[in-house]
Structure 1
Amino acid sequence: MNAPSVQPSTLHLLGRFSEAFTGAERELLDIRRLLEGRRPVKLWSDVPPHPSYAGQGIATIQPFAQQFPKGGTLLIAGVHLRPGIWLKYARFEQVILFYNLANHGQLFGAIEALRDSTGVDPELVFVSKMLQFSVGLPGRIARSLMDLQPFLAVADERFTQAAGRPFTVGRVSRDAPDKHHPEDPALYRLLASRGLRVRIMGGTCLAAALQGVEGVELLPAGVESAADFYGSLDAFFYRTGASTEAYGRVVVEAMAAGLPVVAHVRGGYAEVLEAGVSGLLIESQEEAYDAVMRLAADPGLCRRIGEAGRLQALAVHGPEATRREMDFYLRPAVAA
């Protein structure tokens, strides 16, 4: 007689859903969707969620109303989150901490606070080798979990849509100054002066430098679906300023959408991008300008890099990689 299967305990996913477009929180939504019917999952936010998340079933933690995660496994989507005193009463079997933002001080503080509050040593998950090597702690390297299907559909249609419009380069991110390099506005002005179109979703924070520049469009974060936005581009450009991009899932999304990517060498995404084949890596303003103009002048190069990037995105985040990640989330919290 077969032994009855053990129902997995609840997986509590804790994020900060206060902004419309954040990679860590979008990943939590993908985890919940992929685990549907396989493990109980509950989404939590440490602050009231942004209206764009309405209908997603995200509960706001309210300790004095006894509304907070209890039992099972707690997954915390970043060291910027600071769970409160309710942790002492939650009785978790397991705690998983995503390290997806390069701030070592916050990481060590979070590990100590979680250990003191729960009595459980948190299991660390790093989104890139770069982050793990920089801090020197044991843990698991797991690329950001994502559903590529909407972006793969864009790749199938991109080249028929591109006809009859100026060559368009763009990027998507949170609408925050630290997500943009200080030299980005000057680059966008120069590209626009050469007849290119520039679209920045998550770029209203650049309005003081770019408002009214013909050919440059600054959009709020999340105003279009990411897939629709990628479909409006011919190339994707990405670099950050004060913040180091721990992984940069938007870069991989753009690759999956068949877009040739131009990105700064500093970022976790560089680990899954082969320079000159599945993307162009740059270090300086001059290299950034030359790379974009080279793509604008050569449709064949755009197609070759875009197709290679699409294949690379599938290799790293396709169905087989997703199945391996799901095994991690479906394992028992406590060994029998």
Structure 2
Amino acid sequence: MNPMLNPSGGSEWRTVSLYRQLQSAAEVRIWHFRGAPSEAFSGFDLTRIDTLRLAFPRGGTLVFVGVYFNISHWIRLARPARVILTYNTPDAERLTARVDLIRRTCGLEPEIVFCSKELASQVPFRGTVEPSLVDLDAFTPADRSGRTTFRVGRLSRDAPEKHHPEDMRLYERLAEQGCEVDVLGATSEMQANAPGPGLIHMRPLGSCAAPAFLHDLDCFFYRTSPQWAEPWGRVIIEAMASGLPVVTDRTSGASSVIEHGRNGLLFDTTEEAFDLIMKLARDPALRRSLGQAGRVTAEDLLSADVRARLEAFYLDPAAPSRSQP
């Protein structure tokens, strides 16, 4: 279950990736609500929850990918064997409310999946930490030799909190040094205020497929606003899988898999970010070594063993028994 509204939303693609992983081993369906889903998911057989027509999941295992959306009264009639809550946005109050709701309506103790160890440590619930699955066949390294320009790119939702207030000035400084900057998922304000035709490109969300966009980059940069603590950052793993050197700040959850100088670069300040990107611009060998190590990290993080353990968790036939009132 997920609203499936945002074409580059981490929760939406986490939903799709989990569906792909499980569909060959079980009967799996993606349920959505809140109107029509994004056209980005038109290739999937999505089913709309419609309580007026009594169309909603019944029995089995219910997986809510996110706790940021409301669960309607249909949950009282669903009578699931298991309920799994994916906690991937920092909102402890909403998580507590969803846990209480499942206990009251389903008579079950919901199981919780955390997107990172950092997020798990912030709430008084126990659960399992599970990476968001990335398609390693879609996100692959590209041949970046022979390029005449150095292109820095960034990909995310176009929400203002996904962008740091100092980033536009950083992009301008990089362009002044001859770097090309390409931002996919720029806010409307960023698009409106972008410099004229030149080295800085502010693209609207959905104007390019993520794998193709990453293939055209030489470096991936990522950080968010101080008002948004990035609990994971799926796009960072997609960039690493694409063989790109990643430059990210230490606050994102996905930075926990980066060893500075080996499979990526970490920074604390804008000045550090500028210096690290310029270092990559001048050193193709460093770009290659970081990108190659990043790909290996993505493969290890999403290995066959990891995927097998994930399947075992969701498909375990020994569903928990109902709790006592």
Using the size of structure 1 for normalisation, the TM-score is 0.91
Matched, 1:197 2:197: no
Residues 247, 272 of structure 1: alpha-carbon distance in 2 compared, 3 angstrom cutoff: same
Question: Cα offset for 1:61?
Answer: 1.1
SS of residue in 2 equivalent to 1:310: helix
Which 10-residue stretch deviates more, 172-181 or 221-230? 221-230
Aligned to 1:27: 14
Q: Say yes or no: does 1:168 pair with 2:151.
A: yes
Tell me the SS of whatever aligns to 1:151: coil
Q: Does 1:37 align with 2:18?
A: no
Q: How does 1:236-275 map to 2 (within 5 A)?
A: 236-241=220-225, 242-275=227-260
Q: For residues 76 and 213 of structure 1, what CA distance do their matches in structure 2 show?
A: 43
1:4 is matched with none
Distance 2:19 2:108 in 1: 23
Structure with the higher helix share, 1 or 2: 1
Question: Structure 1 residues 164, 182: closer, same or farther in 2, change over 3 A?
Answer: same
Whether 1:111 aligns to 2:99 is yes
For structure 1, the residue ranges without an aligned partner over 5 or more in a row are: 1-13
AA aligned to 1:108 is T
Superposed CA RMSD: 1.5
Residue 182 of structure 1: aligned partner: 165
Q: Aligned to 2:228, what secondary structure does the other structure show?
A: coil
**Residue matched to 1:308:** 293
Q: SS at 1:263's partner residue? A: strand
Q: What is the aligned counterpart of 1:60 among 31, 44, 48?
A: 48
1:106-185 alignment, distance < 5 Å = 106-152=94-140, 155=141, 157-160=142-145, 163-185=146-168
Quote the offset at 1:102 in angstroms: 0.9
Structure 2 residue aligned with 1:232: 216
Q: Answer whether contact 1:255 1:313 (CA < 8 A) is retained.
A: yes
Alignment counterpart, residue 308 of structure 2, candidates 308, 315, 323: 323
Q: Secondary structure at the match of 2:191?
A: helix
Name the counterpart of 1:6: none
How far apart in 2 are the matches of 1:86 and 1:165?
57
Give the superposition deviation at 1:304. Answer: 0.9
User: Whole-Å Cα distance in 1 between the matches of residues 318 and 238 of structure 2?
Assistant: 31
Cα deviation, 1:34-74, whole Å, max 9, x if unaligned, reads 22231000101122211222231111211111111111110
| 1:165 maps to amino acid | T
Instruction: Indicate conservation of the 8 Å contact 1:185/1:209, yes or no.
Output: no
Q: % of aligned pairs identical?
A: 38
- Secondary structure in structure 1 of the residue aligned to 2:201: strand
Greater CA drift, 311-320 or 277-286: 311-320
Matched, 1:70 2:58: yes
Once the two structures are superposed, residues 272-308 of structure 1 have per-residue CA deviations (whole angstroms, 9 ceiling, x without a partner) of 1111211101110100100100000100111111111
Out of 65, 70, 73, the position equivalent to 1:85 is 73
Moved over 6 A (4+): none
**TM-score, normalization by structure 2:** 0.94
1:101 aligns with 2:74: no
Query: CA shift at 1:168, angstroms?
Result: 0.2
Q: CA deviation at 1:333?
A: 5.0
CA distance in 1, matches of 2:58, 2:302: 31
5+ long unaligned stretches in structure 2 = none
Aligned residue pairs: how many? 318
Output the amino acid matched with 1:307. Answer: Q
SS across alignment from 2:94: helix
- 1:271 Cα deviation from its structure 2 partner: 1.5
